[in-house]
Every structure is written in structure tokens, then in C-alpha cells.
Amino acid sequence: MKKALPPKLIIQSGKFVWTTLWHIMMSKLAPRSPSGEYIRPSSQFRNFIGTPAYPPAAGRYKLYVGWGCPWAHRTLLTRALKGLEDAIPMTVVSPSPIEGGWIFDQPEEGCRTLAELYALAQPGYTGRCTVPVLWDTETRKIVNNESSEIIVMLNSEFDEFAKNPTLDLYPEELRPKIDSWNEKIYASVNNGVYRCGFAQSQEAYDKACAELFATLDEIEQTLETNHYLAGDRLTLADVRLFPTLFRFDTVYYGLFKCNRRRIQDYKYLGAYLRHLYQLPGVAATCNLEAVKQEYYGNLFPLNPGGIIPAGPDMSNLLQLSS
């Protein structure tokens, strides 16, 4: 009868194998710096509506989005707030851990996957195939896949087709303040939660976590006296922050180790999240079950068992804010 391996050797071997495989998988999922910090690649398609090649039009352009993606969520929010649902149709794609990318429920433009759509738009393309995508159905090209630019276009370039054309989420007089918030929130909150979750060293995680909660604390102080980030009116700064806040307690708090504090534990930030969620059209852009499925079910290196948590209870989003 053969003797079993000593538990210590089993643990050491298992740890070595898993750590090695984890670093290999993470290198594909999340490019890193030499110190282990997550580095988000830049978007590649940066054309604009309002140019001769891409004039504003109803029905010509389409959004490709994923329910779980916070960057795509920004575009859904802006589309809903402006009332552009009829002018700009959307198609939802789903992540496939087997395919290693986004797939269509039904073929679009003769494509089964988002990667095939990217290749259709630019033959030979080898970059990342991400959502959101603003697609031109006439030329069969990608106009833009950078969410921060897409929402600016949705805010201003389709007013003649919008149900809420007078709503300006990026007013000229508030742009310096909006841009300042956007720069800070992107680095430490929007991308900051990913810098925590995708950190590949303790030093990188500690730095990202400290910056994340320092900014959340600063936002909490601002919201003590302001209804919104830039003052008393809703702007793109709020649109860019909301998707991260919506996912925070459900995903980032646990899976991404952003667990110093939940958003609902902040007096003003929690009330702000509830207020934004209850604005007309916003809740319809939020699919909590899809968010849980896409993060916990598809980020294998962070959740190898693929178990989807039962909670948390997010019914607080429907509570009236004082």
C-alpha cells in the first residue's frame, strides 16, 4: 500500500501550481506593471459623430453593450437620460468564459462573436474586443469604443432625435469641475476597483485600496452639501460614477477586496446612489443578476469555483432618501 503524500507537500505543490497558473491567466486578463499594478489598455477606435464621415442620424448607429460592464453602463445611462432609445438601438452581448470574449445571442452583421465584429470593421485587428461599441450600420465600421467619448456624443450630437433634448449633462460652465472629477474618479474609483481586484502584489493592492477609499471619503464630504458632484445638477461626472457605485457592494466589496466599507454604509454617498437609481429610466439600465453572473461566473482567476453569491440584499436602493 502506497503512502499518501504528506499534507505539507501537497499544500506546497498545490500552491506553486496554482500561483503559477494564476499569474499566467492574470497576465492575459489584466496587464500589469513590474510592481504588479494593473494597467488598463487604451481604447483603439476614436472617431466622432458630427464629422462628415459620421453625421448625426436616427437609426443609423447602434450600441453594443454588456449588462455587467460598468463602461457600457455609462452609455446606457446617457442614452436613457437623454431619451435616445428609439434613435439608437442597442444589442446586448454576453461574456463566454469558454470563448474568452463577448458573444451574440443571435448573429449580427454575419458575426457570432464581438471579436468577429471587430475584425469586420478592421480586418487584421488584434487588439482587445471590448464593450461598449458605437457601431455605424451604414459603413459597417466601429465609430468609437471609448465610453467616456461615446457619452459626450450621446449628450450633444443627437438632440434633434432625443426625447429630452434640453437636458445637458456636460454644460460649458461646469466642464472644468466635471473634468476634474472625471479625472480623479477614473483613476481611483472607476479603474481603482479594478486596480484592487487585479493587483498582483500586496504593494499594488494597498496603494490602490488607499486611493480608492480616500476618494470615496472626499466624495462623501462633497455630497454633504451638494446634491450632485458638480453642484445642484446632474452631469456626466455622476453618470461616470454611478456604474461603479451600483456594482460596489455586490461585486467590488467582496470579489475585488474593496472591503473597508460598503457604499450603503456612507450616509451621503449611500443616499446619492439611491437617488440616482430612482431617477426616471436609470433602474432599467441596471441588471444586478447579470452583474453577479458576469463577474463571479466569468472571472475565473478571482473566483475559480464559479459560485454565484446569493446576496447582498440591494433593496435599499428603493428606499426614499432623506
Ordered by start, the domain boundaries in the chain are: 172-291+313-318
**Per-residue model confidence (pLDDT) at position 300:** 85
SS3 category, 39: coil
Peptide bond just before 312 cis, omega within 30 deg: yes
For the chain, how big is the Rg over CA atoms in Å? 21
> How crowded is the C-beta side of 298, counted as CA atoms within 13 Å?
20
Report if pTM > 0.75.
yes
Distance CA 39, CA 295 (A): 19
- pLDDT tens track for 219-262: 999 999 999 999 999 999 999 999 999 999 999 999 999 999 99
C-beta of residue 144 within 8 angstroms of C-beta of residue 46 = yes
Distance CA 142, CA 137 (A): 9
194 is catalytic: yes
> Please, what's the b/e burial string for 179-214 (b: 16 or more CB within 10 A of its CB; e: otherwise)?
eebbebbbebbbbbbbbbbbbbeeebbebbbebbbe
User: Which residues of the chain have a pLDDT value below 50?
Assistant: none
**Per-residue model confidence (pLDDT) at position 311:** 87
Set 69, 129, 209, 258: catalytic member: 69
Distance CA 209, CA 15 (A): 25
**Per-residue model confidence (pLDDT) at position 17:** 61
> Please, what's the b/e burial string for 16-37 (b: 16 or more CB within 10 A of its CB; e: otherwise)?
eeeeeeeeeebeeebebeeebb
Set 111, 125, 186, 194: catalytic member: 194
Q: Cell numbers 453618470 label which residue? A: 239
CATH no. for 172-291+313-318: 1.20.1050.10
**Per-residue model confidence (pLDDT) at position 6:** 66
**Per-residue model confidence (pLDDT) at position 28:** 57
